């Protein structure tokens, strides 16, 4: 995260029973924007957004969330439920003395910030989901729905449920895992190639998650070797258990949010996704826009896959700045 005109600060915030490694930039008195990464990512995933938002006058906070990077990794699985995850982000606000923030999430971070808007609406000035749109509470525990839908087929979220199994698979070679993850979550190639990759990913059988992913011919233009090495070094050091434990709370989260059934997001909202992101096929943008009371639109970025804010930073930054400035105006710089 380098920009000659923006000072990037890194520090540790103790909150909610954990210590969070936080990347911070921008004027301390500026409107607060909290950036929440997904799986398997880090605060580093926002390296293109932190300087841009700070340069525009916003006070930006991006943490390695619990279980990731240089933040704490609690041992108990139930320490990764949605209440702990949303409270961690509130702790960042409390630490800087802010009543509200605009919360921006990607992937799993999107699910956290959407729920933040329901659980703690008074603290949310706006919410942006990337790659995962707002999803209403389902009629039964999520893993039950998934088992009904996928039957004997492989599905990674169900594979992640058994403690130790996915952890060992993902952690066997962090470089291979991160290279295949970062280069592979997009819809590309001819129809035959897409069909073969899809069949391999969902086919029944004992194969693990990593071996089902394709090995890329090379790194895409948006991802340098140094950037991949950073991810590989961090996950090689920490392993993947912390992040996988988020998945092991799907059913617990469903139980904890029973009181939110049918709830609507009151805060102004925005969705940003990549046109080549396969997640959009499973969870289409607009699937629950009627439950967003002040939705400002769905921005679909051509040429981007799942890692949209890293793949197309200029386009994402433009959409983000349009949204946050519409809420606060352009802060004094």
Q: What is the pLDDT of residues 89-114, one digit of tens each?
A: 999 999 999 999 999 999 999 999 99
pLDDT tops 60 at residue 73: yes
Q: What is the pLDDT of residues 237-254, one digit of tens each?
A: 999 999 999 999 999 999
**Whole-model pTM?**
0.96
Reduced to 3 states (helix: H, G, I; strand: E, B; else coil), residue 222 is coil
pLDDT tops 80 at residue 332: no
Say whether 107 is catalytic: yes
Q: Is residue 303 part of a domain?
A: yes
pLDDT tops 70 at residue 56: yes
% pLDDT > 70, the chain? 96
Q: Which of 106, 116, 94 minimizes the C-alpha distance to 43?
A: 106
Q: Is residue 241 part of a domain?
A: yes
Q: What is the pLDDT of residues 111-148, one digit of tens each?
A: 999 999 999 999 999 999 999 999 999 999 999 999 99
155 confidence band (pLDDT: 50, 70, 90):
very high
Say whether 81 is catalytic: no
pLDDT tops 70 at residue 1: no
Average pLDDT over residues 177-206: 87
Residue 7: predicted pLDDT: 94
Residue 196: predicted pLDDT: 81
265 confidence band (pLDDT: 50, 70, 90):
very high
Q: Give ∠ CA 10-103-79 in degrees, rounded to 5.
A: 75
Q: Is residue 333 part of a domain?
A: no
SS3 of the chain: helix, strand, coil, percent, to 5 = 45, 20, 35
Residue 35: predicted pLDDT: 98
- Pairing mode, strands 18-25 and 59-63: antiparallel
CATH code (residue 122): 3.40.50.1820
pLDDT tops 80 at residue 189: no
Contact 208, 171 (CB under 8 A): no
Q: Which of 65, 114, 88 minimizes the C-alpha distance to 265?
A: 114
User: Could you say which of 64, 87, 88, 107 is catalytic?
Assistant: 107
Residue 32: predicted pLDDT: 98
Q: Is residue 198 part of a domain?
A: yes
Residue 5: predicted pLDDT: 79
User: Could you say which of 59, 106, 295, 306 is catalytic?
Assistant: 306
197 confidence band (pLDDT: 50, 70, 90):
confident
Separation in Å, CA 197 to CA 203, 243, 279, 283: 10, 24, 15, 19
Its domain, for residue 218, covers: 8-328
Average pLDDT in the chain: 95
Residue 331: predicted pLDDT: 64
Residue 206: predicted pLDDT: 94
Reduced to 3 states (helix: H, G, I; strand: E, B; else coil), residue 131 is coil
Residue 287: predicted pLDDT: 86
Q: Is residue 173 part of a domain?
A: yes
Residue 333: predicted pLDDT: 54
pLDDT tops 80 at residue 192: no
Q: Is residue 23 part of a domain?
A: yes
286 confidence band (pLDDT: 50, 70, 90):
confident
Q: Is residue 184 part of a domain?
A: yes
| CA gap 41, 46 in Å, rounded | 9
Residue 284: predicted pLDDT: 92
157: exposed, middle or buried (Cβ count in 10 Å: 0-12, 13-18, 19+): middle
Average pLDDT over residues 281-297: 92
Q: What is the pLDDT of residues 205-239, one digit of tens each?
A: 999 999 999 999 999 999 999 999 999 999 999 99
pLDDT tops 90 at residue 194: no
Number of domains in the chain: 1
Q: Is residue 214 part of a domain?
A: yes
Q: Which 8-state DSSP code applies to residue 137?
A: P
């Amino acid at each position: 995260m380098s920009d000659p005109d923006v000072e990037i600060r890194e520090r540790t915030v103790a909150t909610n029973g954990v210590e969070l490694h936080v990347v911070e930039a921008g004027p301390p008195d500026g409107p607060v924007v909290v950036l929440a990464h997904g799986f398997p990512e880090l605060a580093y995933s926002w390296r293109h957004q932190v300087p841009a938002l700070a340069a525009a006058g916003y006070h930006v906070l991006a943490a390695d969330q619990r279980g990731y990077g240089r933040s704490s990794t609690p041992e108990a699985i139930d320490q990764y439920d949605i209440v702990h995850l949303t409270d961690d982000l509130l702790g960042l606000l409390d630490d800087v003395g802010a009543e509200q923030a605009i919360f921006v999430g990607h992937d799993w971070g999107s699910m956290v910030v959407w729920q933040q808007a329901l659980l703690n609406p008074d603290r949310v000035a706006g919410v942006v989901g990337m790659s995962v749109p707002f999803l209403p509470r389902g009629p039964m525990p999520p893993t039950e729905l998934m088992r009904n839908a996928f039957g004997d087929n492989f599905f990674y979220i169900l594979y992640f449920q058994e403690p130790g199994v996915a952890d060992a698979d993902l952690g066997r070679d962090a470089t291979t895992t991160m290279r295949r993850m970062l280069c592979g979550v997009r819809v590309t190639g001819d129809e035959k190639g897409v069909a073969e990759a899809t069949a391999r990913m969902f086919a029944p059988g004992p194969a693990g998650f990593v071996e089902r992913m394709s090995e890329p011919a090379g790194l895409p233009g948006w991802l340098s070797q140094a950037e991949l090495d950073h991810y590989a070094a961090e996950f090689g050091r920490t392993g993947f258990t912390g992040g996988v434990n988020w998945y092991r709370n799907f059913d617990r989260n469903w139980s904890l949010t029973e009181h939110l059934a049918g709830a609507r997001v009151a805060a102004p909202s925005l969705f940003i996704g990549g046109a080549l992101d396969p997640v959009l096929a499973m969870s289409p943008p607009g699937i629950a826009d009627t439950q967003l009371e002040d939705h400002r639109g769905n921005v679909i970025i051509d040429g981007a896959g799942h890692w949209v804010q890293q793949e197309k930073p200029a386009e994402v930054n433009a959409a983000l700045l349009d949204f946050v400035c519409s809420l606060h105006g352009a802060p004094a710089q």
